[in-house]
Amino acid sequence: MGEVFRFKRQPNFGLGPRRRRLGNLSASWRPVVAVVCGTLIGYWMTEPITDQVRSIVGASSNFRICVRAKQQNCVIDGDTIRHGGLTIRLEDIDTPETHKPKCASEAALGRRATSRLLELLNDGPFEVVHTGGRDKDIYGRKLRVVMRDGRSVGHTLVAEGLARYWDGARRSWCG
Query: 118, 108, 123, 117: which is closest to 154 by C-alpha?
Result: 117
82 neighbors 88 (Cβ within 8 angstroms): yes
C-alpha 165/C-alpha 159 separation (Å) is 10
Residue 6 neighbours by CB distance under 10 Å: 6
C-alpha 74/C-alpha 36 separation (Å) is 43
**Annotated catalytic residue, options 82, 89, 112, 148:** 89
Name beta bridge partners: 148: 151
C-alpha 156/C-alpha 163 separation (Å) is 9
**Annotated catalytic residue, options 97, 106, 127, 148:** 97
Query: 146, 145, 144, 157: which is closest to 95 by C-alpha?
Result: 157
Catalytic residue list contains 89: yes
**Annotated catalytic residue, options 82, 112, 116, 141:** 141
Residue type, 101: P
Residue 115 DSSP SS3: helix
For the annotated catalytic residues, the residue numbers are 89, 97, 141
